[in-house]
Chain A
C-alpha cells in the first residue's frame, strides 16, 4: 500500500524534536495501550503484519493526525472486531454485552516473562526451497504497487542494488497481513548506493540497505 506509513524520503515533517531524558510514556494510558496491544496479540488471532496493516490502512490525514499509541489502540480495536472477539457496541459502552468467539489462549500474569522472552520468531524451515540469489548478485527491486500490505518501501522500488546477505527463510509479510502465515520466502539484505535512490545530492560513498523477500526481487 502506498499509504501514509511509507515515509522514507518524504519532505515536510520538520526537524527532529529531541527530549532530554525523555520518559518511556507520555501519559499513563500509553503504557496501558502498549500492554493491551501485547496481551491481545498474545491470544494468537492475528500476526504482527495484520497489526501493522490495521495501523496503516487509513487515510493519510487521519494517520498523520493520530498519535503513536492512539494508532495502536485504533488498530487493536479494529482487529478485535474483525476477528469477532468484541463488538463495536461493547467498545462504545465500555462493557461486555455479547457472547463472542472464544480466545485461542489468554496470557496470564505468571506467563508474561516467559512469553516475552520467547518472542515470536518468524524464520521457518525452507525444506528443499533454495535461494534464487547469492551474495554479490545485482538485483532489481520489482515495481510493486499492491493496494495491500507490503514491506518494500516505495523509495526502494524499481531500483538496482546488490545482495549482501541471506537472512534466512521468513514468513512473508504481504501474505501474513492477509491472515495467511503459512507463506514464507528467502529474505535478503539488499544494499543500494545512496545516489541510486536520492540522486547526485547524496554522498557518493553512502549506502542504504533494506531487507527484501525474494518475490520483491528480480535478476538484473
Chain B
C-alpha cells in the first residue's frame, strides 16, 4: 500500500472499501497522536520477516536431538522455548505436546483463532476458517483426511481446543532414517502443519540424507 498517496473520499475513489476504511482509521489515529505509523510498519515487519514457523521448527529439532531439552520442553514449554529467544505475544503460556506411536495431537481454537504466534507466526487462513474450527473437535479424523493424513487405526487422537491463553506446540515424531542428523539438518523436516498436528514431519529425501 502506498502511504504517500492521498485517498479521495469522494466518488472518485478507486480504492476498495476496506482499503479506504483502514486508511481512514490509520489517519484519524495518527492525527490524534494515538498511534505511531512507524510502529505499524515495525509490527508488520516483525510478523512478515522475523517471527514464523522456523522458530518452532528449531524448537522441535532441538527436542529431537537433546533429551534434556525435550524433558524441559515437556515440563515447562514456555521457559524452554523462551530460552531460545522465542518469547512474546501469543506465546506467553506455551505447552508442548508430543506425538507418540500411541497418541497424535491436533490443535484448534473453536472460539476464535488462538495460535502460538511466537513459535509459528500468524495462523494460516484454514486455521482461522469456520470449517476447521467447527470440525477439528467433532470430526478430527475427517479433517486430517482432508490434509492427506490417515492415522493408523490404533492411534488415539487428542484434540486440544485452545480456548484460554494457553497455546500449544505439537512436537511431531522424528522421522525414521534421520539417525545421527543434527538440529540444523532436522529443522527443515519440521513443517508448520506438523506443529499444529495436521501433518507429520517430512520424511528425509535422498538428497537430505546425504547432507549430515
Contacts and interface: CB of A to CB of B under 8 A. Distances in A.
A96 B129 contact: no
Given A6-B111, A38-B43, A112-B43, A76 B25 contact: yes
Interface residues of A, number: 93
A183 interface: no
Contacts of A64: 130
A124 to B, nearest CB: 12
B66 to A, nearest CB: 24
Nearest to B46: A116
Contacts, number: 262
B58 interface: no
Interface string A26-43: 111101111110111001
Given A109-B36, A207-B156, A73 B46 contact: no
Interface of chain A, main secondary structure: mixed
A8 B93 contact: no
Interface in B131-167: 131-135, 137-138, 140-141, 143, 146-147, 156-166
Contacts of A153: 110-111, 137, 161, 163
Contact of B92 (A106, A120, A194): A120
A11 B134 contact: yes
Contacts of B26: 32, 36
Contacts of A125: none
Interface stretch (B82-90, B172-180, B181-189, B204-212): B82-90
A141 to B, nearest CB: 12
Contacts of B14: none
A187 B113 CA distance: 19
A100 interface: yes
A117 to B, nearest CB: 4
A163 interface: no
Contacts of B203: none
Contact of A85 (B34, B111, B134, B163): B34
B34 A35 contact: no
Nearest to B87: A117
B19 A106 contact: no
Interface string A13-52: 1111111001010111101111110111001000010001
Interface of A: 5-11, 13-19, 22, 24, 26-29, 31-36, 38-40, 43, 48, 52, 55-56, 64, 68-70, 73, 76-77, 80, 85-86, 90-91, 93-96, 100, 103, 106-109, 111-113, 116-123, 151-153, 155-156, 167-168, 170-171, 173, 187, 189, 194, 197-198, 202-203, 205-213
